[in-house]
């Protein structure tokens, strides 16, 4: 067992062959992770139930309990813990069974350790993103069968309705939205609400996998297809058969692969790298992008024909700045979560601090908001989060507000509207800089405290 530090992600390795286990232990520890090494599945399950584990790597064939039993124990303990299964006896049936049970990845020995390290990093990042972007409550809506969204804004209700409408069909869906808005969670919701829910949901991050590896990841390869291909590999499409495959950041996909993906969408069959015959597949495609794909088409970096194929039913996930009324609900959710995780007494939040959060730009969306709340829980020694506990930058002030002004009416009316807009922007900026200390803000603005309070009330700041 390597040095176990609470500051590191802990990886549990279950491998009965001593040399293989030691190699994995040393390789993963060298990357800065804490590791726990055991040789049998029964002891592995005990560790899972008794210790904090962030990721599990397990052989399929083990003394005691096998890898699939370990996988089930992990998912029963915490469905967010990723599990990577290894085996020297790969088969499509076993791989599909593992993915159905919730495995993050299925590796056939021998494999490249660098690829394993990429998988570990990606799995842990994915785990954190899912925790940071919990837009979906744990309780499922009884009437609609849709995971209820934290927030009641009209924009989120529209997203919910559209997902419910399109989920039963095989229609290709394109989820559009900024980073941190929870696109993968909505993709999973689409899968959950579809007739395919009992079959695999397979996610691919097109931006996270090197171009030269992505083709093999998607389509698999035959033994001898290229240098180093000393065994057959099953690709994501085959693993997702009769289920759903999610292409996150599809706008980052290489043009050559875009052409191959288009052929799959048109012919519903794939060919492994080095293969000579098509393999029929039945998958539902869900894609996502934070890039403007129409602009990418004009710039010749995304195929126009593929764009029309994947954007049959586009759904825009609104950024947090367009659903500010949901911020108090999300703040409350994250406060409860981090107070429990950090084992501190429950904390509330002051109205001034909540106003700061509601007025922030949130370029990182829900992910940024959660990070902010986590920091504030750590910094706050009392029972209430105050403005000084929020480490956020003041909103940017630019000339764009001029474009928001109505040019209808007299010069005097337009001038008044401009003054109002400028005063609102300036007061918000100074209040944020002053940590919402109104006395200090009034002094900076060179107005009386009473005048500042009046303007805050009149402008609804």
Note the pLDDT tens digit of each residue in 431-448.
Answer: 888 888 888 888 888 888
pLDDT > 70: what percent of the chain? Answer: 88
Q: How confident is the model at residue 45 (pLDDT cuts 50, 70, 90)?
A: very high
Average pLDDT over residues 372-395: 87
Q: Is the peptide bond before 110 cis (omega within 30 degrees of 0)?
A: yes
Q: Write b or e for each residue in 328-360: b if 16 or more Cβ atoms lie within 10 A of its Cβ, otherwise e.
A: eebbebbbebbbeeeeeeebebeebbbbbbebb
Q: How confident is the model at residue 142 (pLDDT cuts 50, 70, 90)?
A: very low
Q: How confident is the model at residue 458 (pLDDT cuts 50, 70, 90)?
A: confident
E strands along 93-192, which residues?
A: 105-108, 136-140, 147-149, 173-176
Give the Cα separation of 316 and 160 in Å (integer): 11
Query: Rounded to a whole number, what is the largest CA-CA distance in the chain?
Result: 84
Q: What pLDDT, on the 0 to 100 scale, is given for residue 398? A: 43
Q: How far is CA 226 from the centre of its chain?
A: 33
Instruction: Tokens for 405, please give them.
Output: 């002004």
Q: Is the pLDDT of residue 418 over 80?
A: no
Please give the mean pLDDT across all residues of the chain: 83
Q: What pLDDT, on the 0 to 100 scale, is given for residue 72? A: 92
Higher pLDDT, 10 or 97: 10
Contacts of 76 (CB under 8 A, 6+ apart): none
Q: What pLDDT, on the 0 to 100 scale, is given for residue 410? A: 76
List the single range of 24-33, 88-97, 157-166, 294-303 with lowest mean pLDDT: 88-97
Average pLDDT over residues 355-374: 89
Q: Is the pLDDT of residue 129 over 80?
A: no
Average pLDDT over residues 207-233: 78
- The answer to whether 255 and 301 have CB atoms below 8 angstroms apart is yes
Q: What pLDDT, on the 0 to 100 scale, is given for residue 403? A: 54
Q: How confident is the model at residue 404 (pLDDT cuts 50, 70, 90)?
A: low
Average pLDDT over residues 425-430: 85
Average pLDDT over residues 168-195: 90
Most confident of 64-73, 228-237, 411-420: 64-73
The answer to whether the pTM exceeds 0.85 is: no
Q: Which of 95, 80, 86 is nearest to 126 (CA)?
A: 80
- The answer to whether 218 and 247 have CB atoms below 8 angstroms apart is no
Q: What pLDDT, on the 0 to 100 scale, is given for residue 133? A: 44
Q: How confident is the model at residue 15 (pLDDT cuts 50, 70, 90)?
A: very high
Average pLDDT over residues 158-162: 89
List the single range of 132-146, 379-393, 414-428 with lowest mean pLDDT: 132-146
Residue 431's Cβ-side half-sphere holds a number of Cα atoms within 13 Å equal to: 22
């Amino acid at each position: 067992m390597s040095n176990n530090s609470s500051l590191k992600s802990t990886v549990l390795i279950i491998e009965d062959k001593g040399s293989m286990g030691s190699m994995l232990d040393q390789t993963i520890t060298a990357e800065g992770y804490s590791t726990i090494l055991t040789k049998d599945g029964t002891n592995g399950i005990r560790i899972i139930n008794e210790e904090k584990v962030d990721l599990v790597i397990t052989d399929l064939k083990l003394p005691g309990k096998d890898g699939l039993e370990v996988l089930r124990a992990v998912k029963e303990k915490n469905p967010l813990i990723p599990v990577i299964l290894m085996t020297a006896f790969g088969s499509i049936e076993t791989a599909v069974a593992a993915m159905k049970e919730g495995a993050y990845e299925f590796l056939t020995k021998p494999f490249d350790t660098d690829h394993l390290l990429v998988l570990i990093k990606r799995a842990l990042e994915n785990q954190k993103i899912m925790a940071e972007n919990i837009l979906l409550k744990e309780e499922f809506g009884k009437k609609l069968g849709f995971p209820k969204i934290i927030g009641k804004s009209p924009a989120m209700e529209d997203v919910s309705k559209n997902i419910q409408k399109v989920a039963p069909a095989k229609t290709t869906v394109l989820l559009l939205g900024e980073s941190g808005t929870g696109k993968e969670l909505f993709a999973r919701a689409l899968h959950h609400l579809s007739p395919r829910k009992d079959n695999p949901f397979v996610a691919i991050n097109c931006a996270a996998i090197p171009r030269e590896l992505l083709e093999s990841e998607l389509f698999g390869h035959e033994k001898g297809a290229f240098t180093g291909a000393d065994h057959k590999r099953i690709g994501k499409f085959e693993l997702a058969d009769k289920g759903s495959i999610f292409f996150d950041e599809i706008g980052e996909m290489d043009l050559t692969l875009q052409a191959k993906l288009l052929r799959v969408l048109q012919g519903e069959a794939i060919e492994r790298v080095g293969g000579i015959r098509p393999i029929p597949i039945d998958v539902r495609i869900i894609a996502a992008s934070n890039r403007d794909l129409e602009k990418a088409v004009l710039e010749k970096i995304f195929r126009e024909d593929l764009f029309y194929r994947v954007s049959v039913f586009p759904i825009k996930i609104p950024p947090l700045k367009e659903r500010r009324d949901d911020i108090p609900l999300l703040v409350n959710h994250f406060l409860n979560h981090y107070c429990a995780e950090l084992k501190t007494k429950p904390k509330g939040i002051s109205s001034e601090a909540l106003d700061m959060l509601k007025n922030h730009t949130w370029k990182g969306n829900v992910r940024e908001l959660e990070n902010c709340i986590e920091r504030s829980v750590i910094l706050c020694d009392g029972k209430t989060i105050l403005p000084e506990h929020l480490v956020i930058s003041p909103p940017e002030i630019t000339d764009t507000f001029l474009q928001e002004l109505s040019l209808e009416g007299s010069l005097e009316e337009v001038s008044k509207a401009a003054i109002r807009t400028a005063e609102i922007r300036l007061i918000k900026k100074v209040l944020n800089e002053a940590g919402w200390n109104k006395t200090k803000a009034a002094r900076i603005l060179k107005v009386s405290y009473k005048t500042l309070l009046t303007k805050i009330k009149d402008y609804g700041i």
